[in-house]
Structure 1
């Protein structure tokens, strides 16, 4: 139950639902227990009245006795009916409090997890797969809801029934009560033993479910690759294999769960036998009436259903504990991307990177080594290099997706760690190398960085990204809804839409991470010409493996293996006749050949 302590704050938040639900549960069970006493009075009345009825056989008083007897039985029957109706009404109130509370907690817990996910650094998402994240916020939360809802409701029902029934039983006959409760310790021991198995199997099932979610998510995200390599059948076989493991583990859990009901039924039957045997001796001794025996048997069966439900409830609680433990694993992870001084002010755009070394925490790969870069506000810099040279790492560090391993990065003279993270990122326009578009309209994708953006700003951003004419060719134009990850658009169109999204919010710092790799040379020149106007007055970092992109920049930095091998202006680097000139001439020849 330690893992489930996390939910106590929600119980306190919705304490009135819990308090009223507990009260309604007690009242509903009170109306369920009282009829047993009425039955006892009715049966004892029948036993006593029959003798009296036959005693007046042949006399007019016999009719009077019958009328009184019939009225009393009708009264008792009416009381039992009224009690059943009241019990049903309060059971409705129980569900309107406890089950409603569980839905509120489910809603709040999902929001808490989702919000927490968004605070975690990029390194967290590199280490954990999407399917597992989704399973914890959906399947695991669903299991937890079963604990805070139905399981809690049945648990309170058991406690209230046990208190009421045992209290009434003791008031009637203490000796018979202890015999009825004799099987309870054996039941408790059995539940403890079985639950040890249940929690272990529940954890295995939830972990396997995450694997299935991950497998399906990857298969559907990469469906084009799957089809292109004709791997539908192997993928189905692999999915079936994972599903079989899940099925086998679930069936094992069902076998364990199935022990509860027959076990409780046997113990309830044993209690009934003890009631009849011991109660019969008490009746013969004159210490009990036959009506009391019937009352006790009704009490035994009142306890049977809660005891049977105890097995189900315990199983659900153990599953919830296993799921909450998995949820807590991620909730206990705290982001290390925090602000030390919480500086939040307009950015001018001066960037100073001093002797930075960075090692990816999840892989241990050193991406940058002794990297330095100094850019004045409003200046532009191009970072060139081959794949794996560390270019995109610079972009991630500037957006503070990671913190440096060594060295420091300053913006406007303040260390990056001193800035308010949201304020910093809100003033940076970032076009990532791996374009991601949302399943929404083109208009909403462009205005994603600033939801209050005007239509004129959206249109201008798409014109600057050389995308406006393509959009106008679509039947729905700016209201065209994109498929998942922007599958409706071509690779070049997706990149240009990503550029439009970045420049639309008029950032102070613009970072373009190899954002023109999927466009042709003509479109590239058109976008670069537009970007020259856009980049005026704002600091720009152009990351690319194409030398043509470098013509936008005031200075150029050549990276190789995380090291700066050359830096300067285009003219200075050409004069050095080093790596930059070699790359420039090679790509120039390639363009001439292609043309």
Structure 2
């Protein structure tokens, strides 16, 4: 239960739902117990009036006895009906308070989990797969909701009903009450054991379901690759095996559950037999009436459901505790990246690396080593290097997706970790290497970075990214709906829409992480010309592989194995005859081969 203490704050918040709910539980159970006593009196009335009716056999008064008897039965029948209607009414109120409260708590928890996910750093998402994150925010929260709603409701209902029925039974006859309740402890133990087994198998099923969901989600995301490599049958076989494992676990659970109901009916039947047998002896002794036996049978029947619920509630609590533990594991995590306190109101875009090194904590790979350079405000700076030289890592450090292991990055001469994080990122336009577009209209994808935009702003951003004419060529234009991850568009179009999304912010610092790779040279030149106009007197950092892209840069930094190998202008680096000059010569040879 210690993991479920997290929910106490929600219970306190909705205490004015819980208190009336408990009151309705008590009232509904009172109206559920009284009918048994009415039925007992009715049964006594029947037995007594049958004898009286027989005594007046052949007399005129026999019809009067019959009329009184019929009226009394009708009265008792209507009374029982009224009591059950009142019970149903208060059961409705009970569910309207406690079950609705659980839905409110579910809503709050999902929002809290999602908000916390948003705060966690990039390292967290590298360590956890999407399927597991989804399950904790959906399946696990649903399990917790079953605890805060049905489990608590039925637990309170069971306790109240037990107290009312047992006190009523012992007030009539202690011996008969003891024998009637004799099988129930055994039933509780068996139900607990069976439900524990059910819970264990349910946990296995939940894990396999999570694995199955992750598998399906990943395959749907990579459907292009699957079709390109003609691996549909292969993935179908893997899915069939995963489904088979899930089916076997589910069938095993069903077999265990199949033992539950026959066992329950057996013990309830035994309790009824004891009630009739011991009650019959008590009637012969004159201790109780025949109506009391009928009353006790109703009580035993009423206790069957709460006893069954006791095992079910135990299972719900166990499952909710396990799920809440999983949820707490993430909610207790603190972001690796904590926002600083320094305001950065007039951001100029001056970036300085001082002895910066970085190693990825998950893999232990050292991406950058002892970097020292400065990007001055208003400069167009290009970062180039071979694959794996640390270019994208450098961009992530400037965005502060990660913190440096050693050294410091200064932003306008302020240490980056001390700067307020969200205002700083609001000044940056970032186009990642792996373009991601949302399943939304093109218009909304471009306008994503701003709270409010005009059509003119969106269209101008599309023009600056050289994608305007492509979009207007679609039947629905900017209202064209994109598939998942922008699958509707070509690679170059996706890159340019992503560029438009960055440009619409009019950022003070623009970072392009090799986002022109799928764009032809003519379109690339158009985009770069537009950038020169849009980013005039603003800082631009362009990470690229093609040297033709960066020849006009004010400063070119060449990375090699995580270190700054060379830096300077295009002409200066060619004169050095180093890595840059070699890359330039190789690219010229590639272009000559293509022209042939």
User: TM-score normalised to the size of structure 2?
Assistant: 0.95
**More divergent stretch after superposition (446-455 vs 332-341):** 332-341
**What does residue 381 of structure 1 align with?**
381
User: Partner of 1:366 in structure 2?
Assistant: 366
In 1, Cα distance between equivalents of 2:515 and 2:351: 21
Deviation of 1:71 (Å): 2.5
Contact 1:341 1:419 in 2 (8 A): yes
Whether 1:112 and 2:85 are equivalent positions in the alignment is no
Q: Which residue number in structure 2 is paired with residue 38 of structure 1?
A: 38
For residues 482 and 69 of structure 1, the distance between their equivalents in structure 2, rounded to whole angstroms, comes to 77
| Contact in 2 for aligned 1:134/1:213 (Cα 8 Å) | no
Q: Is contact 1:257-1:315 (8 Å) kept?
A: no
Report how far residue 25 of structure 1 moved.
2.3
Deviation at 1:230, TM superposition (A): 0.8
What are the within-5 Å matches in structure 2 for residues 413-424 of structure 1? 413-424=413-424
SS in 1 for 2:123: helix
C-alpha contact (below 8 Å) 1:140/1:206 kept by paired residues: no
Determine the C-alpha separation between the residues in 2 that align with 1:102 and 1:334.
27
Q: 1:513-540 deviations in whole A, cap 9, x for unaligned?
A: 0011111111111111111112212111
Give, in angstroms, the shift of residue 385 of structure 1: 0.5
| Superposed displacement of residue 58, structure 1 | 4.6
Unpaired runs of 5+ residues, structure 1, are: none
**Bigger CA drift: 176-185 or 413-422?**
176-185
In 1, Cα distance between the equivalents of 2:346 and 2:453? 19
SS at match of 2:401: coil
For residues 346-365 of structure 1, the aligned pairs below 5 Å read: 346-365=346-365
Aligned to 1:47: 47
CA distance in structure 1 between the aligned counterparts of 2:521 and 2:89, rounded to whole angstroms: 75
Q: Displacement, 1:431?
A: 0.4
Matched residue of 1:242: which SS?
A: helix
Deviation at 1:552, TM superposition (A): 4.0
> What displacement does 1:67 show?
3.5
Distance 2:200 2:424 in 1: 45
Matches within 5 A, 1:576-595: 576-595=576-595
Q: Give distance in 2, aligned partners of 1:193 and 1:81.
A: 38
Aligned residues of 1:109 and 1:141 also touching (Cα < 8 A): yes
Residues 373, 259 of structure 1: alpha-carbon distance in 2 compared, 3 angstrom cutoff: farther
Distance in structure 2 (CA, Å) of the matches to 1:342 and 1:245? 54
Does residue 1:176 correspond to 2:200, yes or no? Answer: no
Q: Which range moved further: 309-318 or 327-336?
A: 309-318
Cα RMSD after superposing both structures: 1.9
| CA distance in 1: counterparts of 2:553 and 2:175, whole angstroms | 95
Deviation per residue, 1:41-100 (Å, 9 max, x gap): 112223333333444445454444443333222211110111122122222222222222
Q: Verify the 8 A CA contact 2:352 2:372 in the aligned structure 1.
A: yes
| Structure 1 residue 357, shift from structure 2 partner | 1.0
Stretch of structure 1 that moved more, 389-398 or 187-196 = 187-196
Q: Which runs of 5+ in 2 are unaligned?
A: none
Other-structure match for 1:533: 533
Q: Which moved more, 1:175-184 or 1:312-321?
A: 312-321
- Structure 1 Cα separation of the partners of residues 64 and 465 of structure 2: 102
- Comparing 474-483 with 228-237, greater Cα deviation is found at 474-483
SS at structure 1 position matched to 2:46: helix
The answer as to 2:512 corresponding to 1:519 is: no
Shift of 1:491: 0.7
Distance in 2 between residues matched to 1:130 and 1:52, nearest whole Å: 77
Matched with 1:148 is 148
TM-score (norm 1): 0.95
Give the structure 2 partner of residue 460 of structure 1.
460
C-alpha separation in 2, matches of 1:516 and 1:90:
66
Q: 1:94 aligns to what?
A: 94
